[in-house]
Chains A and B, each alone.
Chain A
Amino acid sequence: MYKKLMLFITCILLTYVCCVTADIGELNAREAKDFQGLDDDIQVLKEEVLELNRDLYILEEELLYPSSTQVAVYVSVDVGDFFDLDSVQVTLNEKVVANYLYTEREVEALLRGGVHQIYIGNLPSGEHELVAYFVGKGPKGRDFKRGANRIIDKGLGAKYLELKITDRTPKHQPDFVVKEWE
């Protein structure tokens, strides 16, 4: 008796589920007709706006920072066991040009291998002094502030500089290096 009842109930439930499914099927068919091609339109639009922004980005750089005078400074972190980065300050020829406080999300991106462009500007050819100050927590969670400097020789092409934070494992200390890229 109980088994028969269960069968009966299952049939009712299946009918109910089928009704709902049929309704949904009908809706889906109508919806597919109404919104046909919307996904394609979105993808095409996204691609076109991306290409537009690429062209605008290049135009902006060429107008504001021509390669003959362009200087860009980047921050990177390698390993980072002995230093938790909070902020970086960059001075060029004794003038502060960048002061950046990093969010947790940005530090995470740096630790995963991302490189942050902290400054882009213009400098004439010749020698210039760059000084960078790194602020954060050092070994054992102590407040830590270190500087690194370099005399750079700006030639006719764009100059790229990398402020690199690395671990000096034997000394259990962080290391801060300014590296020049051409």
Chain B
Amino acid sequence: MSFPRLEMLGKFKAKAILAFCVYVLSLFSGVSSANIEQPSTIKDLHYGEVLFHFYQEDYFTSIVHLLAARDLNRTTNHIPEDELLLGGIDLSYGLHKEASRIFDKLLQGNVRDAIKNRAYYYLAKIYYQRGYIDESANFLSNVYGPVQESVFGELKLLTGQVYMAQGKYDAAISSLDNWKAPKSHENYADYNLGIAYTKRGNIDKGIEHLKKVGKLKAKTETMRTLRDRANLASGLTLIQNDRPADAIEYLEKVRLEGLYSNLALLGIGWANSNANRHSASLGPLQELRNRSAYHSEVQEGVLALAHAYNELGLHGRAVQAYEQAAGIYNEEAKALSFAAHEIERGVLVDALLDRTKGGPKMGWFWALRDLPELPEVKYFTELLAEHEFHEALKNFRDLLFLKKNLAHWDENISIYLTMLDTRKARYQKYLPLVQQRLSGLDLNELKSQQDSLSSELNEIEKDNAFIQLATAEEKQKLSEIDKLEQRLELLKLQEPDNNKITQMSEKTALMRGIMHWKIHNAYIERSWNHKQEISEIEKHLSITPEKSVSIKNAITESVEKFDAFEARILALHKEIKRLIPIADRVFDEQSRYLEHVAVKELKHREKILVGYEKHARYELASSYDAAASSIVPGGEETSSEDSKSESPKKRWKLW
């Protein structure tokens, strides 16, 4: 082998190992399940309402509602959990400082150990997420005594992660291995244990745990990704430990379309190469070559493919592959340069703003993955994998939402002033009427009327004077009967022997009897109804003094209330007006920062690609020599491995 060839091979291997080290660092960090707040008993509906928004990751609404509920004393049955929840949501919303302040304050107060432990857990999580591992470990070491069940699993996982980040793999293992994790956490625990064991050097034990996760029947995308990650970690670990043939089984289980598919394909190619099965490495590497050249795995893959051809003695194809690789790197570097230039021109921010047109809610619910599809910004999805860009984009989104929120209130707060004016006008219209009625109200007179009615009813009952409860119609009929009887009496005196008059008198007596019978029958019901009515009057009269005082107070307070409301609305509008230019300035700065992060990352990648292109061209030159010496004019190129072990048909299939 010539000097440059060896150099290239060495470079390829060294680069690949470097690349794997980077992957392994990210892959081999611990994983955590989503932050779970298990339903505890809701003792205040408003507290539960806050949780409803929080669980949907609508942090802004949940903080606003929680702050309001606390101010209005609506979460008194959840003290001090409400404070802990506020700190947790602040943390989710990126308010690290406010969250830290809340937890510190809680820890200084006289609260239960379980509450303190949750505060220590959240603080440890804040510091871990921000990269302060030792501080995070320090907070975890303060956890002592009872821990709420819902937090316990998260705490265990975080403890393992912190130990691993500190390189204390034995501690991580002893923390996780003795723990019988609940179902929701067991896959994460197994994954972290697997990583801890492999880092400790106990490969088989580590693979045993990773294998469990690699086999899980995943129902959600999160679980499918975790499964891929476990299989990938197993495969890469085995490659690193010179067991490439064993690695393939795991790498092949990674989904072809998932987050880790590129790395798995590169891993399969690399494992086959290491196992001297170069022809088997062609398939996955060719598949990889067809993917977006932006991914570093693809960039590694095209070189690996050329290398595999060389190893197979297919120098002509190796030349083609190196040429293609150099071309890809060149094109991709140009595209990156163009994209960086476009972002500097403001295309990124414009596209994002265009994407988030609409009301204030649009700003919030706009998912980070839902990015514009423009040729200049085709790298956004890949950029999202970068923590710095992701965080910058999140802040950009939050600021955009704040801007829209302020604009919305600026436009709509005047509605409340209009509403207030309408109420004032209505109040002015009805006030004299109410005042007149109130001044004419004589409660003593009304009470004596009610007493009189009550005693009258008692008298009727006592004397069984049911006729007194006859209806107006019945009384009218009885009076007509009276008149008829009087006339008949007069006629009887004039014509004593007239039978018709006698018969008429009998009929009239019968009519009177029927009327009395009807009135008597209805008497019990009527009496009961009157009693009810009197009781209602009594009830109303009893609360009337209170109501009239309340109305009188309301009259005096109303003017003050209207003024107070007006003052509040005007003060809030002033605050909105003050915040709008601040939000605009911070948003502009954040937009510039976002562009800066994106451009920095794209330029960094461009630089790497330029380096790759140089390597590819260098190797191309040396491969030309090898190709010229291996290809017989007019004959087919044959691989050294293929010629030994595979049929020509198989070889063509591979190509």
Query: Interface of A with B (CB < 8 Å)?
Result: 2, 5-6, 8-10, 12-13, 16-17, 20, 23-24, 27, 31, 34-35, 38-39, 41-43, 45-63, 72, 74, 76, 78, 105-106, 108-117, 160, 162, 181
Contacts and interface: CB of A to CB of B under 8 A. Distances in A.
B416 A59 contact: yes
Contacts of A41: 582, 586, 589
Contacts of A31: 596, 600
Given A5-B3, A109-B51, A112-B51, 18 more contacts: A5-B6, A5-B7, A13-B18, A20-B604, A41-B582, A42-B94, A43-B97, A43-B98, A47-B95, A48-B579, A48-B582, A63-B420, A74-B45, A109-B53, A112-B36, A113-B40, A113-B42, A115-B49
Given A45-B582, A49-B583, A63-B565, A6 B10 contact: yes
B364 interface: no
Contacts of A60: 416
A57 B68 contact: yes
B568 A59 contact: yes
11 contacts: A8-B7, A13-B18, A17-B18, A50-B63, A52-B576, A58-B71, A110-B52, A113-B39, A114-B49, A114-B52, A115-B49
Contacts, number: 169
Contact of A46 (B49, B398, B596): B398
B406 interface: yes
A106 B596 CA distance: 37
Q: Classify the interface of chain B: helix, strand, loop or mixed.
A: helix
A12 B398 CA distance: 44
A17 B18 CA distance: 10
Contacts of A48: 579, 582
Q: Classify the interface of chain A: helix, strand, loop or mixed.
A: helix
A34 B15 CA distance: 34
Nearest to A156: B550
A16 B65 CA distance: 53
A163 to B, nearest CB: 11
Interface stretch (B54-62, B120-128, B234-242): B54-62
A114 B413 CA distance: 30
5 shortest A-B CB distances, which residue pairs?
A113-B39, A115-B48, A114-B52, A109-B55, A54-B67
Interface string B245-257: 0000000000000
Contact of B572 (A2, A55, A78, A113): A55
Contacts of B94: 42-43, 46
Contact of B56 (A53, A63, A78, A105): A105
Interface string B47-85: 011011111100010011101100110000000000000
Given A38-B589, A47-B98, A63-B420, A6 B14 contact: yes
Interface residues of B, number: 67
A35 B594 CA distance: 11
B534 interface: no
Contact of A57 (B14, B64, B590): B64
B405 A49 contact: yes
A27 B608 CA distance: 16
Contact of B6 (A2, A24, A42, A59): A2
A69 to B, nearest CB: 13
B333 to A, nearest CB: 14
B593 A38 contact: yes
Contact of B37 (A10, A49, A113): A113
Contacts of A108: 55
B590 A109 contact: no
A50 B60 contact: yes
Contacts of B139: none
Contacts of A45: 399, 402, 579, 582-583, 586
B260 interface: no
A57 B98 CA distance: 21
Contacts of B97: 43
A72 B399 CA distance: 32
